[in-house]
């Protein structure tokens, strides 16, 4: 059996799994039956498909985009599946990059700067069938033999690398849910369905393709994906099919073997795709609210605290309105409670800490929170740096003398830091921000400062200078008094998340 797998993987070429292909029935659904509106598809996705088709490769839009189009939702991105290998895809586009190791895919890029758009093009893949995977299971010798080949599983049957090319039928069979396994050809407007995805979409069922327990074992992240789609599609009346749902509580411990960086990404998808509150409810309903990933535990645990609840609700609204959201802002909110506890303890010299100045106290607390809570994924340079900046900017808001406010307002990440300050003012009182009311006033002052012209800004700083000093919780001076406020539309909470977009 192992020999057979090695033969499959060594080929590295196009291998269809005969067992799978035979079992499947290809159904081609015409446009007047499926009703997908082609105009809702990004023209650049169509262009990518057509370029590949013109070069002779069988190519479709696939996955979540087809599901969403069929359900009348706006797809958030368009994934493309093709018979071309990554190298063949790359050759056809001016800006295309082969990425990934577990799945080698091609990013085809359109446009530049902040407005660039990436389309993921993946080659049809074959699956090592479950029986073969079981043979390999538990055998260190087999594992090492598979090392370095294009398709490998670990001792629990988890697929480590998955780069065995196949045909469209085998590609459909290795996708997760029936509603995620439909292919749409924008040229003919035909929808190709191998697993009854159309019927399940109509019946509002999220059904795992194949044997659910086996599929969760193969890739435990599918458990989290089941939660995500169940939360996302609940608004349309979708439910997890009983056999798809049933093994989840029993198998949840498999998630502890998933590399932290992948869990981190899945966790972010769960809370950043517009259904965070529903996802948290679903996790609770399935008994997954604790113990599947430390940072997710914290989010679930704090989802009912004012700051996190408000931030999650804002995030869901922003995603629905098509506005960008920033993972750094989200995590800065979730972990602020830890930062502020450590900051206060160090600033006040509470045991076991020696008393140190406020800025160093904050910096040390931030380091400690990164060590304790972010752990393995702290290496994500930009995300971590942005979180630090949001936190470290907080005491700087209290320094309103000389050139400081002018420098701060021009800071690249000012908007994210300011939004965070405002959120602290609105919600901080509930969890130990002793001076939340002052913080709210300080946020108002900074709102005015942003809106003011240069002369007004100078006057505002002068005005602060004239006020008697009142100690604040962070040892900097009081926020009072404020100028009379100008009515501005920019007051709405959460707006700044857009500039916090990363
Ligand atoms: P979303 O709209 O949230 O992006 P999606 O269905 O497009 O949902 P992606 O994570 O973008 O989800 O994945 C694209 C497609 O790839 C899925 O629809 C599914 O067919 C397939 N897929 C992704 N991850 C897995 C997995 N772990 N196991 C099997 N198939 C997967
Ligand atoms: Mg997608």
Q: How far apart are CA 59 and CA 193, in angstroms?
A: 14
Closest CA to 122 of 178, 149, 84, 91: 84
**Preceding peptide of 209 cis, ω within 30°:** no
For ligand 1, say whether the CB of 175 is within 6 Å of any of its atoms: yes
Take atom 30 of ligand 1 and give the residue whose Cα is closest.
175
Q: Per 3-state DSSP, what percentage of the chain is helix, strand, and coil (rounded to 5)?
A: 55, 10, 35
pLDDT at site 474: 54
- Closest approach atom of ligand 1 to CA 63: 18
Percent with pLDDT over 90 in the chain: 64
Position 491 pLDDT exceeds 50: no
How many Cα atoms within 13 Å fall on the side-chain side of residue 114? 5
Choice among 107-111, 244-248, 374-378, 459-463 with the minimum mean pLDDT:
374-378
pLDDT at site 148: 33
- Closest approach atom of ligand 1 to CA 68: 2
- Report the separation in Å between the CA atom of 298 and the middle of ligand 1, taken as the mean of its atom positions: 25
Q: Which pTM does this prediction carry?
A: 0.81
Q: How far apart are CA 119 and CA 48, in angstroms?
A: 8
- Closest approach atom of ligand 1 to CA 219: 27
Q: What is the pLDDT of residues 150-196, one digit of tens each?
A: 445 555 555 555 668 899 999 999 999 999 999 999 999 999 999 99
**Preceding peptide of 200 cis, ω within 30°:** no
- Report the separation in Å between the CA atom of 123 and the middle of ligand 1, taken as the mean of its atom positions: 14
Helix (H, G, I), strand (E, B) or coil at 123: strand
Ligand 1 pocket: which of 65, 105, 176, 266 to mutate (most atoms <8 Å of CB)?
176
What residue ranges define each of the domains in the chain, with the CATH number in brackets? 1-203 (3.30.460.10), 218-317 (1.10.3090.10), 329-501 (1.10.3090.10)
Q: What is the pLDDT of residues 94-105, one digit of tens each?
A: 999 999 876 799
Position 470 pLDDT exceeds 90: no
- In 84-209 the beta strands, taken as DSSP E runs, fall at 96-99, 105-110, 117-123, 151-153, 159-162, 182-185, 190-193, 205-206
What 3 state SS string does 183-200 have? Answer: EEECCCCEEEECCCHHHH
Catalytic residue numbers, as ranges: 77, 79, 176
Take atom 14 of ligand 1 and give the residue whose Cα is closest.
63
pLDDT at site 168: 96
In angstroms, the first-to-last Cα distance of the chain is 47
Section 56-77 average pLDDT: 95
Which residue has better confidence, 130 or 387?
387
Position 70 pLDDT exceeds 90: yes
- Closest approach atom of ligand 1 to CA 221: 27
pLDDT at site 153: 55
Q: Which residues surround ligand 2, an ion (CB under 5 A)?
A: 64
Q: How far apart are CA 495 and CA 489, in angstroms?
A: 10
Q: How far is CA 165 from the centre of its chain?
A: 27
Q: How far apart are CA 323 and CA 113, in angstroms?
A: 17
Which residue has better confidence, 75 or 502?
75
State both tokens at 84.
């071309």
pLDDT at site 379: 55
Q: Which runs of consecutive H residues, i.e. helices, occur in 321-430?
A: 327-334, 336-347, 358-369, 381-392, 404-409, 414-427
For residues 206-224, one letter each, b for 16 or more C-beta atoms within 10 angstroms of the residue's C-beta and e for the rest, the string is: bbbbbebbbbbbbbbbbbb
Q: How far apart are CA 365 and CA 391, in angstroms?
A: 10
Ligand 1 pocket: which of 72, 79, 174, 222 to mutate (most atoms <8 Å of CB)?
79
pLDDT at site 280: 96
pLDDT at site 462: 93
- Report the separation in Å between the CA atom of 76 and the middle of ligand 2, taken as the mean of its atom positions: 7
Position 6 pLDDT exceeds 50: no
Q: What is the pLDDT of residues 418-451, one digit of tens each?
A: 999 999 988 866 656 668 888 999 999 999 999 9
pLDDT at site 371: 87
Q: How far apart are CA 271 and CA 315, in angstroms?
A: 8
Position 460 pLDDT exceeds 50: yes
For ligand 1, say whether the CB of 218 is within 6 Å of any of its atoms: no
Q: In this structure, which ligand is nearest to the CA of 174? A: 1
* pLDDT tier at 322, thresholds 50, 70, 90: confident
- Report the separation in Å between the CA atom of 9 and the middle of ligand 1, taken as the mean of its atom positions: 23
Q: What is the pLDDT of residues 146-159, one digit of tens each?
A: 333 344 555 555 55
Q: How far apart are CA 284 and CA 139, in angstroms?
A: 36
């Amino acid at each position: 059996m192992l020999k057979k797998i090695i033969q499959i993987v060594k080929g590295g070429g196009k291998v269809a799994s005969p067992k799978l292909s035979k079992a499947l029935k290809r159904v081609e659904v015409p446009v007047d039956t499926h009703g997908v509106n082609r105009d809702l598809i990004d023209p650049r996705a169509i262009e990518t498909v057509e370029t590949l088709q013109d070069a002779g490769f069988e190519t479709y839009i696939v996955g979540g985009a087809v599901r969403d189009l069929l359900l009348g939702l706006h797809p958030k991105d368009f994934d493309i599946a093709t018979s071309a290998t990554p190298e063949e895809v790359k050759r056809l586009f001016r800006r295309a990059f082969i990425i990934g190791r577990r799945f080698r895919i091609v990013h085809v890029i359109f446009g530049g700067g902040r407005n660039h758009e990436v389309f993921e093009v993946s080659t049809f893949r074959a699956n090592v069938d479950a029986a073969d995977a079981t043979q390999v299971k538990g055998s260190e010798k087999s594992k090492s033999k598979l090392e370095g080949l294009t398709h490998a599983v670990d001792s629990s049957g988890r697929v480590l690398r998955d780069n065995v090319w196949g045909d469209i039928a085998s590609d459909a069979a290795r996708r997760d849910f029936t509603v995620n396994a439909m292919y749409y050809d924008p040229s003919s407007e035909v929808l190709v369905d191998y697993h009854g995805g159309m019927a399940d979409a109509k019946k509002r069922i999220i059904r795992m393709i194949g044997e659910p327990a086996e599929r969760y074992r193969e890739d435990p992240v599918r458990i989290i994906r089941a939660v995500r789609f169940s939360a996302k599609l609940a608004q349309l009346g979708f439910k997890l099919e009983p056999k798809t749902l049933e093994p989840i509580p029993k198998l949840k411990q498999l998630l502890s073997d998933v590399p932290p960086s992948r869990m981190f990404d899945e966790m972010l998808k769960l809370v950043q795709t517009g259904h965070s509150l529903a996802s948290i409810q679903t996790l609770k309903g399935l008994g997954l609210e604790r113990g599947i990933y430390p940072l997710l535990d914290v989010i679930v645990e704090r989802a009912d605290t004012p700051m996190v609840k408000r931030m999650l609700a804002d995030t869901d609204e922003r995603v629905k309105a098509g506005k960008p959201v920033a993972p750094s802002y989200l995590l800065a909110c979730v972990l602020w409670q830890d930062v502020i506890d450590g900051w206060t303890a160090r600033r006040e010299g509470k045991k076991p800490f020696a008393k140190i100045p406020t800025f160093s106290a904050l910096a040390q607390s931030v380091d400690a929170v990164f060590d304790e809570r972010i752990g393995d994924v702290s290496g994500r340079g930009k995300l971590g740096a942005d979180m630090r900046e949001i936190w470290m900017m907080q005491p700087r808001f209290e320094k309103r003398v000389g050139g400081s406010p002018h420098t701060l307002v021009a800071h690249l990440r000012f908007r994210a830091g300011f939004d965070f300050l405002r959120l602290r003012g609105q919600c901080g009182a509930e969890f130990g921000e002793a001076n939340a009311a002052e913080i709210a006033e300080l946020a108002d002052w900074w709102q005015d400062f942003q809106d003011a012209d240069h002369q007004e800004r100078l006057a505002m700083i002068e005005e602060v200078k004239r006020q008697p000093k009142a100690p604040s919780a962070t040892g900097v001076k009081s926020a009072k008094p404020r100028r009379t406020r100008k009515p501005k539309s920019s007051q709405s909470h959460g707006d700044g998340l857009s500039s916090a977009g990363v």
